């Protein structure tokens, strides 16, 4: 299980953790409040909708942030580091 966790990318880990937090907060809200009758169906829907939406949105934001960070790193590299040959100064 730990090996599988290590194989996951950063955005996926963020999505899973925040999805679990969202599901937990939804269950706590259903148990503490008088928002809906407490049934198995309301608990399952709360976990799926609450945890799923938190997980998907946080995964999407983390993925975009990682892509932007990668693009910024590519633009910050010197001319020769991106694969293009560096200009050679002529010697007399």
Domain spans, the chain: 2-69
Mean pLDDT score, 52-62: 94
Mean pLDDT of 36-40: 84
Give residue 51's pLDDT.
Answer: 92
In this predicted model, which residue has the larger pLDDT, 4 or 72? 4
- The per-residue pLDDT for range 5-28, each reduced to its tens digit, is 888 888 999 999 999 999 999 889
Query: What pLDDT does 89 receive?
Result: 64
Give the residue among 21, 11, 3 at the shortest CA–CA distance from 61.
11
Compute how many other C-beta atoms are within 10 angstroms of the C-beta atom of residue 42: 15
Q: Cα separation of 39 and 48, whole Å?
A: 14
């Amino acid at each position: 299980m730990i090996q599988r966790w290590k194989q996951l990318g950063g955005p996926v880990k963020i999505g899973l953790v925040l999805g679990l937090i969202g599901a937990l907060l939804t269950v706590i809200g259903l148990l503490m409040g008088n928002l809906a009758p407490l049934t198995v169906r309301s608990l399952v829907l709360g976990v799926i909708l609450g945890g799923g939406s938190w997980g998907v949105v946080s995964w999407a934001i983390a993925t975009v942030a990682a892509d932007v960070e990668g693009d910024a790193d590519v633009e910050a590299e010197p001319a020769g580091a991106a694969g293009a040959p560096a200009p050679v100064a002529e010697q007399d």
